[in-house]
Structure 1
Amino acid sequence: MAKTGALRHDQIELAPVVLFLVGEPVLGDRAVSRLIERALERNPATAVTKIDAEQYAAGQLAAAVGPSLFAEPNVVAASNLQKMSDAFLADALAYVAAPDPDVVLILRHDGGTRGKRLLDAVRAGGFQCCEIPAVKYPNEKAALVRDEVARARRRMTADAVEALVDAHGNDVGELVAATSQLLSDVEGTIDEAAVRTYYAGRIQAGGFDIADAAVAGNGGKAVSLARHALASGVAPVPIVAALAYKLRTLALVAARKGASARPGDPTMSPGQRRSAERIAGQWSNEALATAIQAVAQADAEVKGASRDPEFALERVILRVAAAKRG
């Protein structure tokens, strides 16, 4: 069997042994679920067994891959290989040396060095091995959204993709869920207005709206938005985090003076880069330094250093806005 390490997780087919090296948990979940669904589509009577390699006891794998009373096909999904027990390592090494061609064994390893002997054995056997890297940067998250939309044979404008990443970019699972929700609820092409309207009350969107107003020097608007967010149950911590992220982006653009913030720069999307370049031009280096120091102090205060985190939040918003105004 030819090695297929270059395949995407959604291109992997049912086979005696499949290994997923998972850096992004939500995509790892999807990859494993997809193969199980494929097996059930092929034969609804397929027996599916899930094994936790960390809690594994000797002999479980042999029992799971063994023939059943009614000879149904078997799919065995083993997770937590990065924490595998010694018993699992021994049994899995023995099994992959001569796997049952009528059984599908799905192995999921979420990073680390534990179990390297087994991973090497799977690769040496020529079995399907797929790496699912972590989704870290805005352009990777935007690509994930576009892929979700294309998979559904729908359209989303570039501005809408960027707005959605801004709203849910802190959590890839939330980002995927939000994309699915929009695809389900919005008819036709999904534009930025639909995203902003649909997720106006979300924590991340609120945090970035507050940060946008503060760095624009509009302290009154930013405080008003913050009070609304607090009243709706949003904690000060993510709002300060959004403010810190916005200022770090401005500082990065200011330091590069636009020379290195190319469209391919993974640290920000094209829309974020254009916006940051425009706003950064309105800030002096001294003002940025003052604002960043104020946010660093507020970050400690809202995480326990202050008895009144809400006051600390309002104070830092006003300090950032004042720094921008000069």
Structure 2
Amino acid sequence: MPPARRKTASTSGVSWDAATLAPVVLIRGSEGLLADRALAALLDQARDADAAVEVTRLEAAAYERGRLEMLASPSLFGERRCIVADGAEAMNDEFLTDALAYLQAPPDDVWLIVRHGGGTRGKKLLDALSAKHPVIVCDAIKRDADKAQLVRADVQRARRRIEGEAVEALVDALGSDLRELASATSQLVADTTGTITVDDVLRYHGGRVEATGFAVADAAVAGQAGQAVTLLRHAVATGTGPVPIVAALTVKLRTLAKVAATRGRSGVTTADLGLAPWQVDRARRDLNRWTPEGLAAAITAVAAADAEVKGLSRDPVFAVERAVLRVAAASGH
């Protein structure tokens, strides 16, 4: 186990996979999967340091005055203690008061891990923790590029490789739920050998891949009207609503527009666009079929469908189908 550190942590903190145990650690951010991983890593380090460590969890919102001091008091049998304070984003005043007092002189034989899910509740405590103790940042992952990076990192930690198209298929199909995405990645690592391919993804998650709004959007942008409508109807039949399908069309067209705007410009990176390299490469291939006028027409059609599926149409599914056909027709024009 890495030695406990008392060095000052920066306000930005470190990522979950760099979590290092210390007498006091703050896990901050709303991405529950990453916060869980950070906590698991810290608890593993605590057990490596002392197999008999006593782990106690408390809820900061239902905290009772004096409990922190009691849990941190010297143990009769000399084992080390680890206190996990959950839900600090909803802490009550009693927890705030006791935690601030605790930070004045943290015991060397106790590890205190505070989980704060985001927001400014308990700002005085957050400032005190950030000023002198390590902070593990677990911000929400929203961009597809960051979700793709998570998949690649998980595969790499397992000493495996994954094709770019396989990453793309996973993120398209399961990226709306980070825990499900991570679980699917873990399943693929466990159930396959060698490099994970797009065929592996389709074998285990083909139903999800084929029934997503992104599959509909891909077909529409490629000008495959019949395939797009077939996928649309299959998606609706298997539980995908009109709103996420329109959202997928919007994301797809927005990506095309972003990449199209960089034509002839130098120095623009994928990071500047907020996209993964494979997304940019795919968009460039797709743009070979599109004119600026066609792209504008498609964006207008999808914007109209977005309003219709959110209340302006009595038949949202028909509104989406019409938008899909208009996008496919605009491709190549």
Using structure 1 for the length normalisation, give the TM-score. 0.89
Q: Is residue 38–residue 136 contact of structure 2 (8 Å, CA) maintained in 1? A: no
Match for residue 37 of structure 1 among 44, 57, 60: 44
Secondary structure, counterpart of 1:108 in structure 2: strand
Deviations 1:63-108 (A, max 9, x none): 3333566554322111222332221111000011111221111012
Give the match for residue 227 of structure 2.
221
Match for residue 131 of structure 1 among 137, 146, 154: 137
Give the match for residue 159 of structure 2.
153
Aligned length: 325
Name the CA distance, whole Å, in 2 between partners of 1:187 and 1:205. Answer: 26
Deviations 1:120-178 (A, max 9, x none): 32344x33223334433333222222211121122222332233223333332222122
Give the match for residue 3 of structure 1.
8
Match for residue 309 of structure 1 among 283, 307, 316: 316
1:297, CA displacement in angstroms?
Answer: 2.2
- 5 Å-filtered alignment, 1:267-278, equals 267-278=274-285
- 5 Å-filtered alignment, 1:196-235, equals 196-202=202-208, 206-235=212-241
Give the match for residue 89 of structure 1.
96
Secondary structure, counterpart of 2:206 in structure 1: coil
Letter in 2 for 1:2: K
Match for residue 57 of structure 1 among 60, 64, 83: 64
Query: Structure 1 residues 38 and 204 mapped into 2: Cα distance closer, same or farther (>3 Å)?
Result: farther
- 5 Å-filtered alignment, 1:231-310, equals 231-257=237-263, 259=265, 261-310=268-317
Query: Structure 1 residues 166 and 89 mapped into 2: Cα distance closer, same or farther (>3 Å)?
Result: same
1:16, CA displacement in angstroms?
Answer: 1.8
1:56, CA displacement in angstroms?
Answer: 2.4
1:7, CA displacement in angstroms?
Answer: 4.6
Match for residue 84 of structure 2 among 77, 89, 93: 77
Query: Structure 1 residues 123 and 308 mapped into 2: Cα distance closer, same or farther (>3 Å)?
Result: closer
Name the CA distance, whole Å, in 1 between partners of 2:163 and 2:290. Answer: 30
Letter in 1 for 2:83: V
Name the CA distance, whole Å, in 2 between partners of 1:181 and 1:196. Answer: 13
Runs of 5+ unmatched residues, structure 1: none
1:271, CA displacement in angstroms?
Answer: 1.7
Letter in 2 for 1:299: D
Q: Is residue 138–residue 169 contact of structure 1 (8 Å, CA) maintained in 2? A: yes
Name the CA distance, whole Å, in 1 between partners of 2:314 and 2:62. Answer: 43
Secondary structure, counterpart of 1:256 in structure 2: coil
Deviations 1:242-261 (A, max 9, x none): 11111111111222226365
Secondary structure, counterpart of 1:54 in structure 2: helix
Using structure 2 for the length normalisation, give the TM-score. 0.87
Query: Structure 1 residues 163 and 45 mapped into 2: Cα distance closer, same or farther (>3 Å)?
Result: same
* RMSD of equivalent CA atoms: 2.5
Q: Is residue 199–residue 205 contact of structure 1 (8 Å, CA) maintained in 2? A: no
Deviations 1:191-245 (A, max 9, x none): 1221233222116862211111111221111001111222222222222111111
Match for residue 19 of structure 2 among 12, 16, 32: 12
Q: Is residue 4–residue 130 contact of structure 1 (8 Å, CA) maintained in 2? A: no
Give the match for residue 197 of structure 2.
191
Name the CA distance, whole Å, in 2 between partners of 1:182 and 1:51. Answer: 35
Letter in 2 for 1:162: E
Query: Structure 1 residues 139 and 310 mapped into 2: Cα distance closer, same or farther (>3 Å)?
Result: closer
Q: Is residue 28–residue 118 contact of structure 2 (8 Å, CA) maintained in 1? A: yes
- Percentage of matched positions with identical amino acids: 51
Runs of 5+ unmatched residues, structure 2: 1-5
Name the CA distance, whole Å, in 2 between partners of 1:198 and 1:259. Answer: 41
Name the CA distance, whole Å, in 1 between partners of 2:210 and 2:92. Answer: 39
Give the match for residue 124 of structure 2.
117
Name the CA distance, whole Å, in 2 between partners of 1:28 and 1:306. Answer: 41
Give the match for residue 329 of structure 2.
322
1:266, CA displacement in angstroms?
Answer: 5.0
Query: Structure 1 residues 252 and 14 mapped into 2: Cα distance closer, same or farther (>3 Å)?
Result: closer
1:23, CA displacement in angstroms?
Answer: 4.8
Letter in 2 for 1:314: E
Q: Is residue 244–residue 292 contact of structure 1 (8 Å, CA) maintained in 2? A: yes
Deviations 1:18-64 (A, max 9, x none): 11222532111111122223334554543322222233232232233
Q: Is residue 258–residue 273 contact of structure 2 (8 Å, CA) maintained in 1? A: no
Letter in 2 for 1:122: L
Name the CA distance, whole Å, in 2 between partners of 1:77 and 1:258. Answer: 53
Give the match for residue 167 of structure 1.
173
